[in-house]
Amino acid sequence: MHPKISHSLHKKDLLLKRQEQQEKMQQRQAAAMREAQRLAQVLCAEFGVKTVLLVGPLTYGQYLDGMPIELAIERIPNDAFNRAFAHLKRISSFPVELIDLTQTDNWTCKSAGETGKILAQGA
């Protein structure tokens, strides 16, 4: 086979593999977003959280497999945070990080407020 033809076929194969990887990544991001929304509803309904914000890589479309879904919460009852976090870890197949905005530093609160996406709001 001529070298130029061989190179062209190899390049096409690489492009197809890259496209498949991107499609898988987009599917995983979509699944992670659905899971984040579900978890946000659980936090509001079962644990009395006022607001759930999505923060971190999933917020801006940079989520990769194995990264945690990062949720920031406002106004969870004092004794419910640890139970809520344990419950989310138990019910989700995704890694989860939970941030209580009343217990974190000012930079994190400001960043969550500026870049976070509201997923759910409770009563």
Domains and their CATH numbers in the chain: 3-121 (3.30.460.10)
Rounded percentage of the chain residues whose pLDDT exceeds 90: 59
Query: Which pLDDT does position 94 carry in this prediction?
Result: 97
Tally of residues, the chain:
123
Identify whether the C-beta of residue 66 lies closer than 8 Å to the C-beta of residue 97.
Answer: no
Is 70 exceeded by the pLDDT of residue 112?
yes
| Residue 122's pLDDT band (cuts 50, 70, 90) | confident
Nearest CA-CA partner of 34 in 49, 50, 54, 62: 54
| Residue 7's pLDDT band (cuts 50, 70, 90) | low
Express each pLDDT in 88-102 by its tens digit. Answer: 999 999 999 999 998
> In Å, how far are 23, 56, 63, 109 from 105, measured between CA atoms?
37, 16, 24, 6
Express each pLDDT in 75-91 by its tens digit. Answer: 888 789 999 999 999 99
Nearest CA-CA partner of 96 in 36, 26, 31: 36
Query: Which pLDDT does position 8 carry in this prediction?
Result: 64
